[in-house]
Structure formats: structure tokens, C-alpha cells
A and B are shown apart, each in its own frame.
Chain A
Amino acid sequence: AQSVSQHNHHVILSEAASLELGCNYSYGGTVNLFWYVQYPGQHLQLLLKYFSGDPLVKGIKGFEAEFIKSKFSFNLRKPSVQWSDTAEYFCAGGTTYKYIFGTGTRLKVLA
């Protein structure tokens, strides 16, 4: 069955620390992958997307993600987090137009 899994449910970091959130997917064939962010009380916003091509994808707010096909992974990274990055992060994937989300990772950044 198609699935998307996120390993870290809660992450606490200090400002300026580096961030890496794990995401693994289980799909056959071509897969579209996304990372979304949800700030408290708000809807989900797209951080970055991967459809094909360069496996290193850069998104908004300094985030990037690397698609590693051999590991079925699409981990999100940021070199130096800020207090304003406190939010919940969701990985999503799918083929064509049907997308499945992971359970999310709550990130808290301490000032």
C-alpha cells in the first residue's frame, strides 16, 4: 500500500541549530513529494516540492530537501533554525493527483 511516514514526532531545538526531519515513502514508479508547514492556528502552506530532475530541492524560508530514491527518503533540512520556524511539518507524497500525508513533526525552537 502507498504510504508516507515521518520518524520524528516532536523535535526541540535551540535557535541556530541545524534541522533534519525524516520522511520515507512507499510508492512504486514516479512519485511526487512535498513538504508543508502549518503554523499554529493556520492552514498548511507549501514549503517545497519535488517532481523530477535535481534531487536537491530548495524551498521557501531557507528550507531544502533531498530526494534519495535508493532510500525512499525525502528529508527536510535547514542549516540554522529560527524561533519563527516553530510549527508542524508534514511530508506528503503521491502519484498523479492523489496525495497521502505523514503524521507530522512538531518542531519547537527555543529562543
Chain B
Amino acid sequence: DAGITQSPRHKVTETGTPVTLRCHQTENHRYMYWYRQDPGHGLRLIHYSYGVKDTDKGEVSDGYSVSRSKTEDFLLTLESATSSQTSVYFCAISGSTSGAQGSPLHFGNGTRLTVT
């Protein structure tokens, strides 16, 4: 399995509180992604990064922000969590060290977030 670590693995938080999820990779891959998985919706792209400090929005970016200050770390922040953000969040990485396009995604084990 690709060297991807997500933390925390589980989190319960209250509506209105900020939450940060962390994704750490040891593969030196250029591209990193945050997806959320919900029944009936599959995986939906929240944000992605194509390099340090280079990020862009995905399909469902409202209410989320990201940061990538180092190649190995990609943080997802919910500024003010809502119940609709209860989900399983997956981090993924892609690409060789040369930044080749067209590489498949490799996923972390996910973070289960519950917003009460």
C-alpha cells in the first residue's frame, strides 16, 4: 500500500466548531486530493493540490479549505462544521516524483467524521 496516513481516523465534533484533518504521504507524489464518501453519492472531490501552495476546488468545496505547505502534508479544514459534513473523508495521492500525468490515485484509510 502507498504510504498515506490520515489522522485522526475517527472524530466526533459539535456543529460550529472548526475541524482539521491531516493527510501525510511518504511517496513524494506531486498531486494530493481530498474526497468525501457518502451513500448514494460515491466519492466527491472536495479540493486537490498539484504542488506546494498550489490548490484548486473540486465538486463540493463550499465550507472547506485546504493548505499544502509541504509536499508530504495536505490539510483539510472545516471552518465551522455542519451536520451535512458528516461523512467519511479520504485522502488520495497521485503521480510520480516527476509529476507524470495520468497516474492512478492511491487512497488512505479514511477519516470518519461525525458532526453532532
Out of B40, B56, B90, B105, name the residue touching A99 (CB < 8 Å).
B105
Within 8 A of B (CB), among A46-72: 46, 49, 51
- Let me know if B31 is at the binding interface, CB within 8 A: yes
Interface size on A, residues (CB 8 A): 22
- Per-position 1/0 for B36-73, Cβ under 8 A of A: 00001111110010100000101100000000000000
Residue on B nearest A43 in the bound complex, by CB: B107
Known: A96-B102, A100-B45, A102-B42. 18 other contacts (CB 8 A): A32-B102, A34-B104, A34-B105, A36-B105, A42-B109, A43-B90, A43-B109, A44-B105, A44-B107, A46-B104, A46-B105, A49-B104, A51-B102, A92-B105, A97-B31, A98-B58, A101-B42, A101-B45
Contact A43 B42 (CB under 8 A): no
Where the two chains meet, the residues of B that have a C-beta atom closer than 8 Å to any C-beta of A are 31, 33, 35, 40-45, 48, 50, 56, 58-59, 90, 94-95, 101-110
CA–CA, A51 and B104, complex, Å: 10
| B10 CB, nearest partner CB in chain A, Å | 13
Contact B50 A43 (CB under 8 A): no
| B113 CB, nearest partner CB in chain A, Å | 15
| B66 CB, nearest partner CB in chain A, Å | 14
* In the complex, the 7 A-B pairs of residues with the closest C-beta atoms, listed nearest first: A103-B42, A101-B43, A43-B107, A104-B42, A96-B101, A44-B107, A101-B42
Contact B45 A99 (CB under 8 A): yes
